[in-house]
Structure 1
Amino acid sequence: MKRPKRYTYVINDPSLKSGWQKFVELFITLLMWYWFLYSAFPFFRGVSLVIYQMIQENVSSAAQQHRDVFFVMAYLGAFIIIILSIMILWIAYNKIRFGKSSKTEAPEDASDSNLASFFEISEQDVKTLQNKKDIVWNKPYIRRK
């Protein structure tokens, strides 16, 4: 009686993902990285507060000082570009570092003779044990080299 294979294979084929799925994954990744940087490093939290204060001050006087609003928007744009470039470099590093690593492959099924020689019992005992619901060893299994 041939038993079905119970292990799973790792399917690593990026072409199976749709563009929408890639976009959602990238968006969630960027959102989580922002949350991590915002909560983990007080420097980024301070920068965010400074940007918020600059926006509040400049929006209130935007009718009078258009140049300051442009400066704030340029500053925000530069900040966003810096964060995105860091993320892109991190993605490229991960692809170079881990993209070519060997993938997990499942082991082949063991035959009854292999199991019998490994556990040092007869093949008939292996077949008997495979058909039992509960298995009780008469002696503790200790493999010595």
Structure 2
Amino acid sequence: MTNMNSSVIIEDESKLELPEYIDRPEYVRNKSVGYSLQIAGWFLFMWLFMPLLTIFFWLFEGKTIYQQMIVQAEPTSPLSLVHLATMILIFIAVLLLWATYNWVRFAGKERRSAPMSVNEEQLAISFKVNPMDILNMQQAKNLTLYYDEDGRLEFFETNQSLKKRL
């Protein structure tokens, strides 16, 4: 029996079977066309199938709801329409009160502040690299950082080629 918690670290990236388009942004073109097709597909789905689902639920479940809520329900029963409507209105009122309280409490009060700016030397000390490497990383269009098991930066790649080993 194998231990399910043991993790295997794959050092050879070719064994990961990653598709090429993950590391190659030129393969991911025309995102707007893909998103447009996705939106068109959802509209087509709703246009075709939502009316059919609605008709199905009206035909088969409408009778059950009518029997349970109108015919068999007594005015004093806990599931009468008046009680349900009252509960819904109470929930809406509680939500509105909570929203009003939060608006009064936080309106015009910015509790978040911008982080302090750091220079290249401080950033280099934080990552334990030299300041020139920080400048190279800041100017790179594509950047991949490799960390060891303890979370320390081992090396980095810029523009799809290995630039610097730390």
TM-score by length of 1: 0.34
- The structure with the greater share of residues assigned to strand is 2
TM-score by length of 2: 0.31
Larger RCO: 1 or 2 (CA < 8 Å, sep 6+): 1
